[in-house]
């Protein structure tokens, strides 16, 4: 990883702090004091909180410092609020630091033995091999000897691991089908064992009654010898003991089967949830592909069809924040051919953020792809758009298909309702 996928400079969220009061990386190493969340680069907060703290822990902690309802707020809202607390510093950031330090005290003590970046990377690589990543990630990021290169390397490896989760979804779906079949088979087996247990219990009761009746009958035989009576009693006792052992065996098997069935049911429920999320994402991607295909097929048949595919942008000024250079050039050409104007800004990586704030008040709508924009730029966009009354909306990706599908929905809505203007701003699927 040659360069991090974020801007390493201090963001505007820390602009209110005095620069002279901020400890530098060299100061942290010299003082041998571990770094706090507020002292780390804000672009690391999302990965630290998302990896090292569970949603349940955040639901207990975040509502103490925000107006969110811990029972009704979504997981995304809780995560986003935690990131904002870490960026803002203060009591919320201290509470997050305390939670991380208490949970991963063992890993912190283990990493304290490292006295240079090379030793830190060795401990981090051992954690990657063992799969114990969250404790090692926080211990490394807050270590006084962690340099920018060390943190950048750990961030890049964690980022690539997240992609492996998506690749495993298809295998999870296949496993879900197999687990459902196995779960049904286990339920049938439990039912059969339960019926067998009831049958064995009846047999045992019948055996006990038979033993009692035989004992009474033996008492009425004056000519029965003592040896015969003792042999009969011993045989009946062995038969009763065997029935007890069989009953205990089937009881243990039934309990084990019930536990396994419950575990399989929990795994099935989790996989079903993942399958629902995958289906929802598939529908969105299919809609984008259909919109792009219609625009492409129409453009092949009619010369002005490409312009009609994005007819809504005609005469409108659109500000597009983030994205990728190649797709941004295509979008700009597409909007220009339809009679609109597309202003592209990269969010502050190379373009000055002052230009973005000046361009937003004159825009008809502001769009930004959630996969190519950072937290700081997104927060600034929301504040400026709300101040000037400009509509804004997120796009799923920075692809041409997402843009065409969004404009196609606006064009269809305009044709049916004869109402100009973009739809109301939607909740960002990634940043809030």
Please report the pLDDT score of residue 190 as a whole number. 92
In sequence order, what are the beta bridge partners of 33? Answer: none
Band (pLDDT 50/70/90 cuts) for residue 292 is low
Retrieve residue 103's tokens. 């949970």
| Pairing status of strand 317-321 against strand 365-369 | parallel
pLDDT tens digit string along 118-170? 988 888 998 888 888 899 889 888 889 889 998 988 888 888 876 766 556 55
CB 402 within 8 A of CB 395: yes
Band (pLDDT 50/70/90 cuts) for residue 23 is very low
Please report the pLDDT score of residue 63 as a whole number. 92
More confident residue, 138 or 176: 138
pLDDT tens digit string along 312-361? 778 888 888 888 888 888 888 888 888 888 888 877 666 666 677 777 77
Distance of alpha carbon 212 from the chain centroid:
65
Q: What are phi and psi of 341, to 5 degrees?
A: -130, 125
Distance of alpha carbon 61 from the chain centroid:
18
Which pTM was predicted? 0.38
What are the angstrom distances between the C-alpha of 93 and each of 33, 120, 191? 17, 25, 53
- DSSP H/E element including 197: helix 169-219
What are the angstrom distances between the C-alpha of 320 and each of 213, 317, 364, 375? 92, 10, 11, 16
- pLDDT at residue 180 tops 50: yes
- pLDDT at residue 15 tops 60: no
Say which residue the tokens 């995560």 belong to: 79
What are the angstrom distances between the C-alpha of 43 and each of 74, 83, 84? 22, 9, 11
- Distance, in Å, from the CA atom of 401 to the CA atom of 262, rounded to the nearest integer, reads 43
Strands of 391-395's sheet in order across: 341-345, 317-321, 365-369, 391-395
Q: What is the mean pLDDT of residues 243-261?
A: 90
**What residues does each domain of the chain span?**
12-167, 169-285, 305-417
Retrieve residue 88's tokens. 């803002």
Asked which of 49-53, 221-225, 396-400 is least confident by mean pLDDT, the reply is 221-225
CATH number of 305-417: 3.40.50.10190
């Amino acid at each position: 990883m040659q360069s991090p996928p974020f801007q390493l400079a201090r963001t505007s969220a820390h602009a209110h702090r005095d620069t002279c009061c901020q400890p530098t990386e060299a100061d942290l190493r010299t003082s041998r004091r571990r770094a706090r969340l507020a002292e780390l680069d804000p672009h690391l907060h999302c990965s630290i909180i998302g990896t090292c703290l569970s949603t349940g822990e955040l639901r207990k902690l975040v509502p103490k410092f925000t107006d969110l309802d811990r029972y009704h707020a979504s997981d995304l809202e809780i995560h986003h609020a935690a990131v904002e607390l870490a960026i803002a510093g203060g009591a919320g950031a201290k509470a997050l630091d305390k939670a991380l330090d208490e949970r991963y005290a063992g890993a912190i003590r283990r990493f304290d033995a490292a006295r240079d970046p090379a030793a830190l990377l060795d401990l981090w690589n051992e954690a990657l091999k063992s799969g114990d990543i969250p404790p090692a990630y926080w211990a490394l990021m807050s270590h006084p000897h962690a340099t920018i290169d060390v943190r950048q390397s750990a961030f890049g490896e964690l980022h690539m691991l997240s992609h492996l989760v998506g690749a495993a979804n298809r295998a999870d779906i296949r496993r879900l089908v197999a687990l459902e079949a196995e779960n049904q088979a286990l339920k049938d087996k439990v039912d059969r064992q339960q019926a067998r247990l009831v049958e064995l219990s009846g047999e045992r009761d019948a055996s006990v009654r038979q033993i009692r009746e035989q004992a009474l009958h033996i008492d009425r035989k004056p000519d029965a010898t003592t040896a015969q009576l003792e042999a009969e009693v011993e045989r009946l006792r062995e038969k009763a003991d065997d029935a007890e052992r069989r009953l205990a065996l089937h009881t243990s098997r039934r309990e084990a089967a019930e536990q396994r069935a419950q575990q399989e049911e929990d795994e099935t429920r989790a996989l079903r949830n993942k399958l629902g999320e995958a289906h929802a994402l598939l529908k969105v991607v299919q809609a984008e592909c259909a919109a792009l295909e219609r625009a492409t097929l129409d453009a092949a048949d009619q010369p002005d069809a490409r312009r009609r595919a994005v007819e809504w942008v005609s005469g409108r000024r659109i500000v597009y924040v983030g994205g990728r250079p190649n797709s941004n050039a295509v979008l700009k050409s597409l909007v220009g051919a339809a009679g609109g104007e597309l202003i592209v800004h990269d969010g502050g990586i190379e373009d000055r953020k002052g230009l973005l704030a000046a361009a937003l008040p004159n825009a008809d709508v502001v769009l930004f792809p959630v996969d190519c924009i950072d937290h700081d730029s997104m927060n600034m966009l929301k504040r400026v758009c709300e101040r000037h009354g400009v509509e804004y909306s997120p796009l799923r990706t920075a692809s041409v298909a997402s843009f065409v599908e969004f404009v196609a929905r606006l064009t269809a809505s305009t044709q049916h309702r004869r109402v100009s203007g973009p739809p109301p701003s939607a909740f960002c699927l990634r940043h809030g």
